[in-house]
Structure 1
Amino acid sequence: MEWIADPGVGAWLRETLDDGLGSMHAVVPRGFPAYARVFHPATVRESPTAADSEVRVSWAQTAAAFGTTMHAEAQWHRIVRTPVDADWRTRIAPDGREFTAPLEGALDSDLVSILAGHLAAHTTTPDDGVVALWDGFGALVGFFGDGPSRAFLTFSDDPNHQAMLDRSIHDPFNNVFRKPTWQDGILSREISEGPRLQLPGRDYVLFSGGARDFIDPAWVLGVPWRDRVGEEHGFPPSAQSPNILWPKDRTWVMVSEIDYDSTIVAGSPDLVRAICTDERLEAKALREGADLTWDADEVNR
């Protein structure tokens, strides 16, 4: 995969998007014969005080626990019966289990691999396409500033060393004469300062890449935006999943919008059927013009 310096390769997407926010087509292209919604998994544990780790749970299983109805245009906060002004991210079901909301803007890496298998099988260019990453993810791109976009806390048993560490943390806030300096991101400075694909409300960094690049479950190890700095501080290998992916022949488009807790695929009826019948994914066919905004779930009001 290589950085694409010319964002013009994605200019065609602008013509397929709506100006308003009244439907999914503010971020998902119009003009495709079929659409699928892949629901990002939530997590559950037996109780808020349970020591056991959280496990994945589907939206359908969650709806069953809360006595609500799962459907293609469901909204998570409605599924878990969230009262007005209450926290929808963590909810306790009538049976006492604690449910935590799905990730927004990212599909789990193993599910990306499964989905990529279907995408690769429904294009004539499975090795050739474009990957788009939203440039607003923390630490992805570098910038000029007083300090890095994230900090890895370090502690020491030596009181003198710990005092030095404490001063280094507070120094950027105390030194009013400090001039902004370049703060490295995961991506190089050349890419960080390079042109972006500008879509309504979102700017993206582009890379060359096809669906087949994501079939291997270990795809995070080979992408240019792998978080190697995080690994140096003891975190496991990780990489943001593509926010937009399309093949050179444009037979489909995959969109993981940063504010969506699901991934949308626009493509052929055969592709949508393959995705929705794969038991490893929780997916449903969507109508064109579907409304996935916050208050759109009329079924579970």
Structure 2
Amino acid sequence: MQLMTDVSCGDWLLERVGGWGRVGGVAGTGFEAYARILHPVPATRVDLSITDEWGGHPVLEESRWTWSQAAGRQGLTMHPLVQWNRLADLDYGVDFADGWQFGQTREGYFDLDLLAALTEHLAPATTTPEHLVAGIWNGWGELTGSGRALYAIEGSRLWAWLTRRRLQREAERQQRESLRPEIRLAAEHGPHLEWPGREMILFATSCDELSDPSWAEGAGLGLQPGFPPSISPQLLWPADRSWVVASEIDWDSTIVAGPRSLIDAVLADERLEAFEVDADADLSWEGDLVNPPRAGWSAGS
């Protein structure tokens, strides 16, 4: 992934920005068809028969659930504009009587293994699969060296504090080494693609590169070794402008915009939980008009 200093290559897409909170507002208008891919949810199964001194339970199993699994267990309805705030409590998730628990979706991050799967459909849908532009939001703390890992250490208070401090300093050193200086400067000073409300750093990449889920490890994005990747492109398009992939930082779904054949392939891929939408579809938190709001929740809370 190579840093780009000429951001004018994104001007064509800026001219097609749609309304706020709408599909076209994050992926651009005027494409033949659109698909919405839902970001999967981390889930754990705990042993409810054992409770520790803090009220927690030992974890027996970890998994990744689809939204359909979460909805089905609660008798809720899946549909193209479903919102996670109607399927789970945004603070506490949902706990089930058999010990399964799920928490929150990942906003602004499309799992890199799913992005790799998506490239299988993106590559044949463009004449320029080796010439892609990736836009990454400059607000991620990793890009400026301000991202931090948190450590939970058991033991005496002094020993735990000293251990956390040592681990934190080592993590910060590793992060500094993994962040390319030119990317840090670009994050802080530009040039940026001035997407509405989002400043983007642009990179040159390819379908081949993104087809390997480990690409981020050597991209110089300031990721902390030993921790799962936390950054994926917010915008992605090929030089021939045939499609766009968009992961808005405040959304827990990714939009694919492009030709009918591409969208049909995305919708048919069982690895991707996807629904067809249109450019005017409302994907704000209030966009789910099928499932009722959860008790005590409002968009302003």
TM norm. shorter chain > 0.5: yes
Name which of 91, 96, 108 aligns with 2:94. 91
Distance 2:134 2:26 in 1: 15
Alpha-carbon contact 1:66-1:93 (below 8 Å) kept: no
Matched, 1:244 2:235: yes
- Going from structure 1 to structure 2, the CA distance change for 1:115 and 1:151 (only over 3 Å counts) comes to closer
| % same residue | 38
Q: How does 1:261-300 map to 2 (within 5 A)?
A: 261-300=252-291
> Per-residue displacement from partner, 1:124-161 (whole Å, max 9, x unpaired)?
0000020110000112135xxxxx55377799x998x9
- Going from structure 1 to structure 2, the CA distance change for 1:130 and 1:217 (only over 3 Å counts) comes to same
Distance 2:201 2:229 in 1: 18
Scaled by the length of structure 1, the TM-score of the pair is 0.79
Q: Secondary structure at the match of 2:237?
A: strand
- Going from structure 1 to structure 2, the CA distance change for 1:162 and 1:277 (only over 3 Å counts) comes to closer
Aligned to 2:84: 76
Q: Secondary structure at the match of 2:141?
A: coil
Q: What do you get for the CA RMSD once the two structures are aligned?
A: 3.1
In the TM superposition, what is the alpha-carbon distance from 1:191 to its structure 2 partner?
2.9
Name which of 55, 68, 71 aligns with 1:63. 71
In the TM superposition, what is the alpha-carbon distance from 1:92 to its structure 2 partner?
2.3
Q: How does 1:126-205 map to 2 (within 5 A)?
A: 126-141=129-144, 148-150=146-148, 162=162, 186-188=179-181, 189-192=184-187, 193-205=189-201
Aligned to 1:8: 8
Q: One-letter code of the match for 2:124?
A: A
- Going from structure 1 to structure 2, the CA distance change for 1:50 and 1:65 (only over 3 Å counts) comes to farther
Q: One-letter code of the match for 1:62?
A: A
Q: Secondary structure at the match of 2:194?
A: strand
Matched, 1:41 2:40: yes
Q: One-letter code of the match for 2:148?
A: R
Question: Greater CA deviation, 291-300 or 189-198?
Answer: 189-198
Aligned residues: 269
Point out where structure 1 has 5 or more consecutive residues left out of the alignment: 143-147, 170-182
Distance 1:11 1:190 in 2: 22
Distance 1:122 1:89 in 2: 40
- Going from structure 1 to structure 2, the CA distance change for 1:162 and 1:217 (only over 3 Å counts) comes to closer
Aligned to 1:117: 120
Distance 1:254 1:33 in 2: 14
